[in-house]
Amino acid sequence: MSSNDHLCELAISRSGFVFDPHTGATFTLNLTGLTIVDALKQGATLEQVVLRLRDTYAEVPGSLQQDVSAFLTELRQHGLTSGDDAAPRDHDASRGPS
């Protein structure tokens, strides 16, 4: 299963509630997280995700690319994406999905 396949199988409400039918896990995403997951489901690269966020939100932090990389690492650590996304493997992301 590719990382897009697993993301596409998640049940995601507009409010950010996420259900993983493979594990039964649930969590919530904020609007930024929803934007990132939506872009990943469409096959976007890290750079494309960052561009989408810059286009979507008026103000973004200077650390946007690092923040997105950390979020992608968290998704991978929770089994929601595989290593074929653009996130670095050595980034420490000890928090669960938000």
The full set of domain ranges for the chain reads 3-77
pLDDT grade for 2, boundaries at 50, 70 and 90: low
What digits encode the pLDDT tens for the residues 36-67? Answer: 999 999 999 999 999 999 999 888 888 999 99
Amino acid making up residue 96: G
Residue 17 to residue 47: CA distance in whole angstroms: 26
Residue 9 to residue 3: CA distance in whole angstroms: 10
Residue position matching structure tokens 């997105």: 68
List, in order, residues 6 or more apart from 10 with CB less than 8 Å away. Answer: 18, 19, 20, 21, 37, 80
Sheet holding 11-12, edge to edge: 11-12, 17-19, 26-28
* Predicted TM-score (pTM) of this structure: 0.77
